[in-house]
Each structure stands twice: as structure tokens, then as C-alpha cells.
Amino acid sequence: MDKLVEFGMSMAIANQMASSMNQSLNQMQVPGVGKAMPTSTENIYFVVIDGAQSGPYSLTELSRLIAEKKIMKETYIWKPGMAQWELAENVSEVLRLVAITPPPIPGSNK
């Protein structure tokens, strides 16, 4: 009888541990440079910054990098579905972001 109770308790503990691990795994996010992957592959972009591949980035993140002058029209961009890396000026959705970024404020050093 004691062995049966011990077995039942062991099973309950094992189930509780498995449930806890599954919950943790479901909440885990695999980072792409510190952030979760975008849910749609059409919104994933990789860029070459300082000679190294960087990303994945969303269009919002690309916009921030453009404002920080880390991405310009001469920057190489790649996204799923593209055969090869292209200059930002040849990727229409990225070129729009480059085109709408205002120039530096007169008199500022940025």
C-alpha cells in the first residue's frame, strides 16, 4: 500500500513539473538580437551594418535605424523571398522610409 501511495505522489509531482515546464516553454521567446521574431515573414528584414549582417528587424525598427543614420539608401537589405541582397534604394518599402526621414535640423551635429 505504501508503495502505491508513493508511486501516486511521484506521478503527481512529475505531472506538476511537466506542466510547469510546458508553461515556461510556451512563454519563452526566442530572441533575434534581443527581441522576438516578427510573426509574418513579409515583415522580416536583415541589413548589413558596419560590414556585418544584423536583424531580423521590422519596418518600425528599420525606420528607427534610418533616423539614427545606420541605414541609408546604399545599405544592403534582404528579406525572405529575395534572391539576393539589394540596396535599400531598390527595396520599395524601405526606400519609402528613407525618403520620408527628415534631414538633420540646421545647426545640429546629427
User: Looking at the structure, do residues 22 and 52 belong to the same domain, yes or no?
Assistant: no
The answer to whether position 106 is within a domain reads: no
For the stretch 8-47, pLDDT in tens is 667 777 777 777 666 666 665 554 445 555 455 557 999 9
Distance CA 67, CA 72 (A): 9
Q: Residue 61: which of 89, 32, 82 has the closest Cα?
A: 32
Residue in this structure with the C-alpha cell 534581443, named with its chain if needed: 34
- Which pLDDT belongs to residue 47? 95
Residues 96 and 53 in one domain: yes
Q: Which residue has the higher pLDDT, 54 or 18?
A: 54
Question: Model-level pTM greater than 0.85?
Answer: no
> Do 20 and 47 fall within a single domain?
no
Instruction: Give me the mean pLDDT over the 59-72 stretch.
Output: 90
pLDDT score at 86: 94
Same domain as 96, residue 45: yes
Instruction: Tell whether 18 and 67 lie within a shared domain.
Output: no
Q: Which three cell numbers stand for residue 65?
A: 535605424
Q: Are 57 and 37 in contact (CB under 8 A)?
A: no
- Range(s) of the domain holding residue 7: 1-30
Cell numbers for 40: 509574418
Q: What is the mean pLDDT of residues 49-66?
A: 92
- Report pLDDT for 90: 92
